Amino acid sequence: MFVAHCPGQPPRPIVTDADATGIAWLDLLDPTPDEQAQAAKITGQRIPTRADLEEIESSSRLFMEDDAVYLSTPLVRRVQDDFFVSPVGFVLMRDRLLTIRFTEFSSFDLIAKQITGSKESYSGDEVSVLLLEAVVDRMADILEHLGQSLDTLSRDVFQADQPRQAGRADQMLRTLLRRVGRSGDLASSVRDSLLGMERIAIFVSENKKHDLSEKLRDRMSTVARDIVSLNDFVSQISNKVQFLLDATLGFISIEQNNGMKILTVVSFIGVAPTLVAGIYGMNFHDIPELSWKYGYWYSLALMAASIVVPLLWFWHRGWLARGR
């Protein structure tokens, strides 16, 4: 979809070149090859493909070509309880901004509503700063939600001790481990997005061939400071994720030790009865119990006692109780 965002009007699909006349923000959303070709014709600039935007080298993400500034970064999009990462590109020209994206982002939709609901005109530089500010705000919201999720996860990991059935404990620990891993993935993706946004802010601010106004430079400096503070918060989140991962793995080790403890008890209580049965199975003539009327029952009682006594001792020591 190829649309134009202009003040006081709803987003307008660009069908002909005239539809883009005087528009400061042109937006390519999951464009077709024909729409990319049309955008290239209107702007006179090369339109990067998705493969171009997914390049990880700084020289491929931030560069100038003719009089246009090419910028790209991966952005995180949260969808209910899940998330994914999609690249976003900016082509900042003297009189307009072209954005290329392959999925909807709430920050872009927010700025689009702000522009269409305003009576004031916007330059391409102003739109780019507005988008950067909105994206950083959205990253902050995601991190805030992630922090709350980790607080809940921490309470679940270190919940009050309660007797648990083995099957339920195993399932609970698997679920906790998946949640910790998913939180770590989200934190890592947000860090990548913030790194890309920080590079964009620095590159645009220091670009001498495309100077921003003093007011926009100040706002860009504020965006850069916000990104630095969010990076510090991401570092804190990452440390907490690692702590919860270690704690979850520790509880898994405890559950495994409990299983080994049960196996040890079972194997031990089988040793004494086997010894008793072996002794009375040797059939020596001078074994007194062989000629005793109650010798057989005595041996059975002795084997039973050799099972019960260790079990009582293990129970007293707490070895037979499930881990809490």
Give, in words, the CATH class of 259-317. mainly alpha
DSSP track, 138-168: HHHHHHHHHHHHHHHHHHHHTPPP----HHH
pLDDT tens per residue, range 288-317 = 766 777 777 877 888 888 888 877 877 776
Least confident of 4-18, 122-136, 188-202: 4-18
pLDDT for 215-229, tens place per residue?
888 888 898 999 999
Please answer whether residues 209 and 239 qualify as being in contact, where contact means their C-beta atoms are separated by less than 8 angstroms: no
Q: Fold for 1-122, please state it.
A: Beta Polymerase; domain 2 (3.30.460)
Lowest mean per-residue pLDDT among 1-5, 16-20, 154-158? 16-20
83: β partners? 78
Residue 87 near residue 51 (C-beta atoms within 8 A): no
Q: What was the pLDDT predicted at 308?
A: 84
Beta strand 62-65 with 2-5 is unpaired
Mean pLDDT of the chain: 83
Q: Is the pLDDT of residue 122 over 60?
A: yes
Residues 222/287, Cβ–Cβ less than 8 Å:
no
pTM, to two decimals: 0.75
Sign of CA dihedral 12, 16, 21, 26: positive
Residue among 228, 227, 238 at smallest CA distance from 146: 238
For position 165, what pLDDT does the model report? 53
- Across the range 60-71, mean pLDDT stands at 86
The structural domains of the chain, with segments of one domain joined by +, span 1-122, 259-317
List, edge to edge, every strand of the sheet that includes 68-79.
12-13, 2-5, 25-29, 97-101, 82-92, 68-79, 62-65
Q: Which two tokens stand for residue 11?
A: 């987003």
Specify the pLDDT at position 323.
Answer: 44
Q: Are 1-122 and 259-317 in the same CATH fold? A: no
The residues near 135 (Cβ < 8 Å, ≥ 6 apart) are 75, 105, 107, 193, 197
* Structure tokens belonging to residue 214: 């003093």
